[in-house]
Chain A
Amino acid sequence: MAETTADPIRFSAGPAQLRRSPLEHLAPALATTEHSLGVALREIPFTIQIGLRAAPGSAAHEALAEATGVGLPMRTSEVAGDPGSVAVLWLGPDEFLLIGPEDGQPLLKDLRRGLGDLPGQVVDLSANRTIIAVEGEQARDLLEKGVPVDLHPRSFGPGQAVTTLLGPVPVLLWQTGEQSYRVLPRASFADYTARWLLDAAREHHR
């Protein structure tokens, strides 16, 4: 008779209790960077992420811009809104990613209602990417080891985001403050990306 390992309490709990973030298993390792000399890493799990598509200048674009409450970014590296509540990142001329709080379901409904039958797209992509916060004096130094985009303040700063690479991994890179960045790898790349960052951060450890 096989040993029963399932925990009945976990099974009876709702989906919110059962879910695991892509970097849950690395939380202790990430936490060790908290007291490092210049850079701290942590996961920001379970944000709502909504893919939006609409051609600029179209009625759909206008409807979605209104429904987000913060508009839509108009050109490369622009971000509408702010990281504390709802932000919309520019992915392409007609493609955007809204990132919001965990309880963003009403916003998803508003966006779907706003778009209606117009030619465009509102898709819940929340499980697609997780967020790794990279913060501290050495945050830029660390990211520059693997990001081909120029992160010097003369060409990149707070409130900007780009789709690019971190090492070999396609990521969204979003600067949220003078010394704060967010890296968004797809969930299946999260483990590798986090370990890449942990390795790159080793020189800053006490």
Chain B
Amino acid sequence: MMLIHCPYCGPRNETEFHYGGQAHVPYPHDPEALSDAEWAQFLFYRENTKGLFRERWVHSVGCRKWFNALRDTVTYEFKAVYPIGAAIPTPEQAEGAGA
């Protein structure tokens, strides 16, 4: 069973978490101004990265907080976790953190 490091609770079993998709997708400043195609792009289109990917997770049955993670989609290895709003760690910084 995989352990995921919650930034608030520390290492906990993966069954306590839920996945929230790609991180850092900004809500459009003026949604009314978007064409249907642009709106669809925002709603439905996401990266499908092979390798390091920034994504959102929530500690659903723990502290119920959302946080961001940098995860390798090939190995499932979490390189870093960081609270919502915190600076995005570079892959080099993440390499040292070893979350």
Contacts and interface: CB of A to CB of B under 8 A. Distances in A.
Contact of B63 (A93, A149, A165, A170): A93
A95 interface: yes
Interface in B1-57: 1, 8-10, 12-13, 15-16
A148 B65 contact: no
Nearest to B62: A163
B16 A164 contact: yes
A92 B61 contact: no
A40 interface: no
A76 interface: yes
A164 B61 CA distance: 6
Contacts of B62: 92, 162-164
A93 B16 contact: no
A79 B1 CA distance: 28
Given A148-B1, A148-B15, A148-B16, A165 B61 contact: yes
Contacts of B65: 92-93
A91 interface: yes
A148 B12 contact: yes
A59 B1 CA distance: 41
B13 A149 contact: yes
Given A76-B8, A148-B1, A95 B63 contact: yes
A91 B63 contact: yes
Contact of A76 (B9, B15, B16, B64): B9
A25 B16 CA distance: 31
Nearest to B13: A148
B16 A92 contact: no
A9 to B, nearest CB: 43
B21 to A, nearest CB: 22
Contacts of B8: 76, 92-93
B25 to A, nearest CB: 24
Contacts of B61: 163-165, 170
Given A76-B10, A93-B8, A163 B63 contact: yes
A111 B14 CA distance: 36
Given A77-B9, A95-B64, A148-B16, 5 more contacts: A92-B64, A92-B65, A148-B1, A149-B13, A163-B62
22 contacts: A76-B9, A76-B10, A77-B9, A91-B63, A91-B64, A92-B8, A92-B62, A92-B65, A93-B8, A93-B63, A93-B65, A95-B63, A95-B64, A148-B13, A148-B15, A149-B13, A162-B9, A163-B63, A163-B64, A164-B16, A164-B61, A165-B61
Q: Which 8 A/B pairs are nearest by Cβ-Cβ distance? A: A148-B13, A92-B63, A76-B9, A170-B61, A163-B62, A93-B8, A165-B61, A148-B15
